[in-house]
């Protein structure tokens, strides 16, 4: 009986404490709102702070494990509107599912908003990460990498290199019936990207980078505990090994440049681009080697994670939409028929000019939501569309909510590549409502290269194979992946031409 009484008292204390915390939080926010409204004319969006300390984090994570991770936002939009306050990962936060608000957040990087990421990411990438840097340095590095990836020299050779990587992987399929697309696509993209970044060819060095990077990336979203044996500890150890090898590659490149060659005379990869840059005219200072090495590792992520997953999900969605698969196959077969008799090489333009293929890629990017949003922290009080974001608060600009909002896309959960045809009604296809690669100053510099890789993969897949997909489903947290790596049974239909 005494235990029952004690239990009741504990419950009363907990409930009373929770009620007191909610009341105090509400009063504090109301007072802050009143003061800020008098100063700025704006108002903190409506919402809930959830439970003490944990806020609404548990519900946010739980929704991430469901088939519809945006359900966290969808449950709150009818109550509070498209922009609402919450409390996630230990911080007060404004969640935006409004494309216009998201645009302002993306375009005001550095001056009003700065990147904010979970502690595991900041621990792994470090302070000099391109994800966390701001101002002139961020614009400088972003511009250098973006310029190189868009350069005619790279476009001329990269198409052939991607084709070779696709062909090398698909040649092994002839001896297999069952393959796992999620793994096979990584075999295509990772070697290509590492070659673009550092000119590393297939062999022991590439195998080492692939193995250690796979260990490194597992810790991007984990508990920030660095004890031996923990996930973060293992990932940090993997990064140490990566840094040692990448630093050696960068040092060798710099020695070759310094050995009688003018800076910038032989630029073949991203490492050369960063080493060749001497900064602004009034600086005449190159980027530190450790800085270059660390950021080259960070740039490997698309080759191991995002681009392979878009390829994988394209296969899944096409398998569920026979009409789209048929039209995609016909378009790519026609290109093959045009090229084969003339023995012509395919060009970057050939692949990027296939209209329905590009529609399939756009629709896959919209539904996949590999980058589901960005986290930013306000450096000062800022007002957007009447919403007030207090200094120090975080903002989650949710891309996935915009992509899956029926106000922007008709039947948003239906795979419909035809929605991207010009003049199609019922879809808000402006740039604000389609942000799979982010936006503003941090727009992904490799977006065109990524689309090219996906287009080449799809071309060779549909012109050389037929397949049957086994049952599998998407896991959305902590990152997007297939539960079973999407097993498919492939049947060759054409010999490689």
R_g of the chain, CA atoms, integer Å: 25
**Whose CA is closest to 217, among 198, 200, 202, 236?**
236
d(CA 436, CA 372): 8
- Kindly give, in sequence order, each residue whose CB lies less than 8 Å from that of residue 81, ignoring residues fewer than 6 positions away: 45, 46
Length of the chain: 497
d(CA 456, CA 162): 7
d(CA 339, CA 3): 82
- Kindly give, in sequence order, each residue whose CB lies less than 8 Å from that of residue 166, ignoring residues fewer than 6 positions away: 188, 456, 457, 460
pLDDT given for residue 155 in this prediction: 87
Instruction: Say how far residue 159 (Cα) sits from the centre of its chain.
Output: 23
State mean pLDDT over 62-68. 87
Q: Evaluate if residue 271 carries a pLDDT over 70.
A: yes
pLDDT given for residue 478 in this prediction: 79
State mean pLDDT over 405-427. 87
List of domains in the chain: 2-6+39-492 (1.10.630.10)
8-state DSSP, 381:
-
State mean pLDDT over 145-158. 91
Instruction: Say how far residue 143 (Cα) sits from the centre of its chain.
Output: 19
pLDDT given for residue 61 in this prediction: 85
State mean pLDDT over 291-303. 91
For residue 478, whether the previous peptide bond is cis, meaning omega lies within 30 degrees of 0, is yes
What is the average pLDDT value for the chain, to the nearest integer?
87
State mean pLDDT over 431-440. 90
**Whose CA is closest to 367, among 474, 250, 291?**
474
Q: Evaluate if residue 18 carries a pLDDT over 70.
A: no
d(CA 253, CA 228): 35
d(CA 56, CA 49): 7
8-state DSSP, 304:
I
Has 444 been labeled as part of a binding site?
Answer: yes
d(CA 270, CA 144): 8
Q: Evaluate if residue 463 carries a pLDDT over 60.
A: yes
At 182-192, the pLDDT tens digits run 999 999 999 99
Question: What pLDDT band is residue 284 in, cutting at 50, 70 and 90?
Answer: very low
Give the DSSP H/E element, type plus range, for residue 86: strand 83-88
Lowest-confidence segment of 17-21, 155-159, 428-432 by average pLDDT = 17-21
Q: With both helix axes pointing from N to C terminus, report the angle between 57-64 and 71-80 in degrees, rounded to the nearest 10.
A: 130
Q: Evaluate if residue 497 carries a pLDDT over 80.
A: no
């Amino acid at each position: 009986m005494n235990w029952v009484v004690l239990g009741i008292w504990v419950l009363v204390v907990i409930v009373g404490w929770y009620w007191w915390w909610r009341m105090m939080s509400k009063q504090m926010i109301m007072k802050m709102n009143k003061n800020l409204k008098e100063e700025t004319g704006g108002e903190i969006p409506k919402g809930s702070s959830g439970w003490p300390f944990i806020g609404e984090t548990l519900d946010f994570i739980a929704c991430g494990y469901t088939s519809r991770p945006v359900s966290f936002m969808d449950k709150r939009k009818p109550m509070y509107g498209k922009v609402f306050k919450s409390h996630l990962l230990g911080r007060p936060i404004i969640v935006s599912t409004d494309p216009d608000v998201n645009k302002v957040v993306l375009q005001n990087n550095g001056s009003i908003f700065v990147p904010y990421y979970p502690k595991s990411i900041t621990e792994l990438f470090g302070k000099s990460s391109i994800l966390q840097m701001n101002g002139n340095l961020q614009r400088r590095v972003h511009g250098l990498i973006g310029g190189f990836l868009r350069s005619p020299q790279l476009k001329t050779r990269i198409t052939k290199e991607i084709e070779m990587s696709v062909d090398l992987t698909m040649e092994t399929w002839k001896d297999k019936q069952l393959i796992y697309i999620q793994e096979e696509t990584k075999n295509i993209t990772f070697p290509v990207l590492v070659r673009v970044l550092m000119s590393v060819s297939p062999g022991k060095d590439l195998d080492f980078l692939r193995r250690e990077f796979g260990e490194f990336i597992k810790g991007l979203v984990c508990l920030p505990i660095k004890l031996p044996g923990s996930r973060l500890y293992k990932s940090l150890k993997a990064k140490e090994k990566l840094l040692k090898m990448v630093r050696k590659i960068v040092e060798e490149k710099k020695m070759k440049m310094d050995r009688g060659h003018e800076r910038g005379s032989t630029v073949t990869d991203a490492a050369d681009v960063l080493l060749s840059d001497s900064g602004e005219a009034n600086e005449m200072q190159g980027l530190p080697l450790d800085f270059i090495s660390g950021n080259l590792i960070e740039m490997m992520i698309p080759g191991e994670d995002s681009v392979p997953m878009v390829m994988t999900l394209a296969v899944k969605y096409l398998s569920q939409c026979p009409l789209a698969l048929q039209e995609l196959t016909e378009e790519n077969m026609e290109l093959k028929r045009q090229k084969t008799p003339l023995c012509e090489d395919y060009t970057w333009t050939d692949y990027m000019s296939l209209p329905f293929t590009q529609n399939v890629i756009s629709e896959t990017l919209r539904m996949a939501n590999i980058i589901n949003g960005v986290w930013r922290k306000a450096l000062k009080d800022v007002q957007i569309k009447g919403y007030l974001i207090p200094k120090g608060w975080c903002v989650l600009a949710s891309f996935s909510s915009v992509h899956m909002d029926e106000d922007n896309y008709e039947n948003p959960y239906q795979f419909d590549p035809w929605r991207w045809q010009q003049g199609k009604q019922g879809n808000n296809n402006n740039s604000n409502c389609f942000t799979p690669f982010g936006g503003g100053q941090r727009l992904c510099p490799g977006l065109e290269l990524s689309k090219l890789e996906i287009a080449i993969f799809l071309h060779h897949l549909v012109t050389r194979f037929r397949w049957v997909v086994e049952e599998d489903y998407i896991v959305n947290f902590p990152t997007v992946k297939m539960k079973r790596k999407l097993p498919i049974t492939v049947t060759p239909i054409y010999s490689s031409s």
